[in-house]
Amino acid sequence: MDTFYHRPVMLDEVIGGLNLKDGGVYFDGTLGGGGHSYAILAANPTVTLIGTDMDGEAIAATERRLAQFTGRFHLYHTNYKCYENVLGRAGVDRLDGVLLDFGISSHQIDEEERGFSYRSASAPLDMRMDQSSALTAREVVNGYPPDKLLRILREYGEESFAPAIVRNLVRRREREEITTCGQLREIVEESIPPKFRSAACARQTFQAIRIEVNGELENLGECLKGLIRRLNPGGRICVLTFHSLEDRIVKQVFRELASDCVCPKSFPVCVCGKKKEIEIVTGKPITACEQEKRENSRSKCAKLRIAEKIGA
């Protein structure tokens, strides 16, 4: 069985949330193993799909997964933030639905040489989703100045013990280059007071470095706005997030685009010209049911937000 194959998080909720339309064109910007894309194409035989992923292995796995739908999908090995170029190449101007699933795939975690998991002691520090990229976790850990490392751990990892972790990391790299996930995990663990240590206490540090390596939050808000503005009226965007930083950005963008005039209330007439662009479908984010959480640990921290395009 292909190691990319797994049941995607909140599959039924995503398909229902997209509200598939006959003849619609759908954009899956984070393919993974193609589970969501497969379900979209299987749910309605008249829809077509455009997909992107930074991971070449994900593209190959999705092509295999979607083979029975030949002619109804187009896949591109690139970042979803390059959607304008992708849609131009596909000859598409407007979309009927957008899906972004920001979770890291099980395949990427399980493949030791990818260096994503703090559980893999001997794995090299890599963490690149696009393996043709130059920047790796090894360069970040060994080459970034202390102040930049501190900012990354605080902002991207929301790590309470960031100062101690950076201090010990810098001391360690002065003696030897840090090259494995095990070395980094050891540094994190020794930096955290014993009563706060756990088997997963390095998770936030690894998350922060992965986000930096892959530029995951860079221009995210503007990209979401751009994709929403490509939707036809009635088209929907579904976004699955797995940590608070991404979810906060999605929530802010949805709120901004769902609001009308933002002029001060003291103004007698509107001068800003802002018009409401979306209706927020999910007042609160949807979370996985208890059964899914038991069966798929990846779903425990997932949040699904959905919005629908209005107007022209």
User: pLDDT of 26-42, one tens digit each?
Assistant: 999 999 889 999 999 99
Q: What angle do CA 37, 129, 161 make, to 5 degrees?
A: 120
On the question of pLDDT at 304 being above 80, the answer is yes
pLDDT in tens, 63-116: 999 999 999 999 999 999 999 999 999 999 999 999 999 876 655 555 555 656
Nearest to 243, CA basis, from 278, 213, 195, 285 = 285
On the question of pLDDT at 262 being above 90, the answer is no
Tokens of 95: 């979309």
Orientation angle between helical segments 181-191 and 162-175, nearest 10 degrees: 130
Rounded CA separation 27/100 (Å): 8
Mean pLDDT estimate for the chain = 90
pTM: 0.89
For the chain, list the domains and their CATH numbers: 11-102+217-309 (3.40.50.150), 108-214 (1.10.150.170)
Q: What angle do CA 310, 245, 81 make, to 5 degrees?
A: 55
Total number of residues shown for the chain: 312
Q: What pLDDT does residue 113 have?
A: 59
Rounded CA separation 146/308 (Å): 43
pLDDT in tens, 207-253: 999 999 999 888 999 999 999 999 999 999 999 999 999 999 999 99
